[in-house]
Amino acid sequence: MGVMDDGSLNILYLSAEILPYAATGGLAQVAAALPRALRRAGEDVRVFIPRYGRIHPEKLGLKRVLEAFPVPFERDVMLAGLWQAPETEVPIYFIENQRFFGSRQGIYSFPDDGERFVFYTRASMEAARHLDWRPHIIHANEWHTALAPNWLRTIYGDDPFFAKTAALYTIHNLAYQGIFGYRILQIAGIESMGFIAHPEIAPSLNQVVSMMARGIIFADVITTVSPSYAREILTPEFGEGLAPLLRDRRERLFGVIIGLDMTTWNPAADPALPCKFDGARLDARAECKVRLQKEVGLTAAQTPALIGLTARLSDQKGFDILTAVLEPMLRFLPLQFIVMGAGDERYHHQLTDLQRRYPGQLAFIPTYDEALARRIYAGSDIFLMPSRREPGGLDQLKAMRYGAVPVVHATGGLRDTVIDHHLPEMGTGFRFEPYDCMALYAAVARAVEIFRHPDLWRTIQQNAMRQDFSVDKTARAYVKLYRHARSLKLTGQPLPDLDLPNLDAP
């Protein structure tokens, strides 16, 4: 296939997580939705993840594809096996190795995580060779797979099999960089490169190996999960020490909103909901609200605004400012709260205490249940996301799709996807800044006041539900970026008809 051909692309998609097999957050949701959309767009995309101990071939009906194949590892060779999920829309392959994955139930937080994910990434690339499936693109996600772009420029630089393979690297959250010592370079076979020093980076980062930094340096194209986050990470405040590297490569940096699979997230057909509705049948939503109130132990009534929140209990998700004003909200505003999530024990105790003192007004569910989350999107009047930082965010998109009006801190993907109601014909929610408890309280109070005006509220709801945040739209943008990456790799020139704005544009 020529660089400018319109034929389908072979895309090797690397992710440490994918629903429903292994998931801790948004990375798994994206890995499930985006490749399916790419497949619908006609691309030959294949996903490779580790076969963690929790993934049982017999229970899941996995098919063994390769019994044992060699993987170069630390001046030696280790063996890997390859399994494939049955009857999936997108081929999903599982890299097997008993030492690194098969004997452990968890995904992360092992002392040898660096070695584990180096092996998985290298084994995925070698598996493509043994399948005789030549990728045009390797799409690497997060630090776990960030060495793939590095290897394409070094170890595989003269390998005919990968000679025309370009790399696209996606940063989902710059805070998680994969920091390791010098030995990881020996394990990865790139010891001769040594540390990558940058005059504007702190000495503490120049004397360690940041996996993410190598993905940034060597990828043909870099993406993040929203345009605003792409701009934010160029600054010292959000750059996590890597802003100078990103500024050096800003002409290759793009922010793309990750959308939803609109068939999976559809309130008119969601089996988790007690009643079905859409933008033209919003009255049916009232029954969802009452059913939800009863399910979680709140007083069943339409009058108070019901606010839902599903998130990890952490400062990053805004619980530091929320807990500072939650009790005044409960005392002085006509509202109810549902908070679902686990995390920091401080917030767990505070929410448990508030639930005891405000029975029927606050419900705290200290775990995550996806079916209940769907009912929270469908039954809440307002969906709250006060995140300090939110690179992309999927929950606000789900909430809008299900008719819950979002109240969000204006950061990252929240800024890009929620239009403040002060634009009455276009507004889809309420944004606040700066990041402090008073701005949060004021935004919630504004939303609760507008909720008392049904016609205006219905307009905001319908505006939100009409927004096109489909993952198919995301896939179309990524196909352009894949072709752009190939053009840069093979000709050194950008794709002539690329119409996506990058960070170097005026």
User: Across 277-328, where does the E strand assignment appear?
Assistant: 305-310
Q: Nearest CA to 19 among 7, 36, 44?
A: 36
Q: Give dist(CA 315, CA 353) in Å, integer.
A: 19
In this prediction, residue 202 carries a pLDDT of 76
Tens digit of each residue's pLDDT (9 = 90 or more) over 364-390:
999 999 999 999 999 999 999 999 999
Query: Residues 438, 413: one domain?
Result: yes
Q: Give dist(CA 348, CA 342) in Å, integer.
A: 7
C-alpha distance across the termini of the chain, in Å = 33
In this prediction, residue 496 carries a pLDDT of 84
Beta strand pairing call for 362-365 and 382-385: unpaired
Vertex 347: Cα angle to 345 and 349 (nearest 5): 70
Can you read off the two tokens belonging to residue 230? 């792409």
Domain count across the chain: 2
Query: Residues 251, 323: one domain?
Result: no
Query: Residues 437, 371: one domain?
Result: yes
| In a domain? residue 155 | yes
Q: Nearest CA to 50 among 164, 127, 151?
A: 127
Provide the edge-to-edge strand list for the sheet that holds 362-365: 362-365, 335-340, 305-310, 382-385, 405-409, 430-432
Query: Residues 121, 187: one domain?
Result: yes
pLDDT by residue, tens only, the chain of 506 residues? 444 456 899 999 999 999 999 999 899 999 999 999 999 999 999 999 999 999 999 999 999 999 999 999 998 999 999 999 999 999 999 999 999 998 888 999 999 999 999 999 999 999 999 999 999 999 999 999 999 999 999 999 999 999 999 999 999 999 999 999 999 999 999 987 777 777 787 777 766 889 999 999 999 999 999 999 999 999 999 999 999 999 999 999 999 999 999 999 999 999 999 999 999 899 999 999 999 999 999 999 999 999 999 999 999 999 999 999 999 999 999 999 999 999 999 999 999 999 999 999 999 999 999 999 999 999 999 999 999 999 999 999 999 999 999 999 999 999 999 999 987 689 999 999 999 999 999 999 999 999 999 999 999 999 999 999 999 999 999 999 999 999 999 999 988 878 776 655 43
Half-sphere exposure of 58 (CA within 13 A, CB side): 0
Query: Residues 481, 444: one domain?
Result: no
| In a domain? residue 87 | no
Can you read off the two tokens belonging to residue 236? 């010292």
Average pLDDT, the chain: 94
Query: Residues 304, 413: one domain?
Result: yes
In this prediction, residue 1 carries a pLDDT of 40
Query: Residues 158, 241: one domain?
Result: yes
Q: Give dist(CA 111, CA 180) in Å, integer.
A: 10
Residue recorded with tokens 């044992």:
68
Query: Residues 422, 297: one domain?
Result: yes
Can you read off the two tokens belonging to residue 170? 């996606």
**Phi, psi dihedrals of residue 456, rounded to the nearest 5°:** -65, -40
Residues pairing with 69 in the sheet = 80
Query: Residues 376, 327: one domain?
Result: yes
Contact 216, 224 (CB under 8 A): no
Q: Give dist(CA 270, CA 94) in Å, integer.
A: 30
Query: Residues 24, 163: one domain?
Result: yes
Contact 13, 45 (CB under 8 A): yes
User: Across 51-160, where does the E strand assignment appear?
Assistant: 63-73, 76-84, 92-96, 137-141
| In a domain? residue 54 | no
Predicted structure pTM score: 0.94
In this prediction, residue 7 carries a pLDDT of 86
Q: CA–CA distance from 441 to each of 280, 324, 328, 330, 470 (Å)?
A: 31, 10, 9, 11, 31
Query: Residues 370, 389: one domain?
Result: yes
Vertex 358: Cα angle to 414 and 451 (nearest 5): 45
| In a domain? residue 149 | yes
Contact 27, 392 (CB under 8 A): no
- Chain CA centroid to CA 72, Å: 30
Q: Give dist(CA 359, CA 350) in Å, integer.
A: 14
| In a domain? residue 345 | yes
Contact 330, 363 (CB under 8 A): no
In this prediction, residue 506 carries a pLDDT of 34
In this prediction, residue 56 carries a pLDDT of 95
Query: Residues 150, 173: one domain?
Result: yes
In this prediction, residue 84 carries a pLDDT of 98
Q: Give dist(CA 23, CA 30) in Å, integer.
A: 11
| In a domain? residue 4 | no
CATH code of the domain containing 406: 3.40.50.2000
Residue recorded with tokens 């507008």:
450
* Domain carrying residue 482: 10-46+110-259+473-491
Provide the edge-to-edge strand list for the sheet that holds 253-255: 63-73, 76-84, 92-96, 44-50, 10-14, 137-141, 166-171, 221-224, 253-255
| In a domain? residue 270 | no
| In a domain? residue 115 | yes
Contact 121, 145 (CB under 8 A): yes
CB atoms within 10 A of CB 140: 27
Computed over its alpha carbons, how large is the radius of gyration of the chain? 24
Contact 167, 135 (CB under 8 A): no
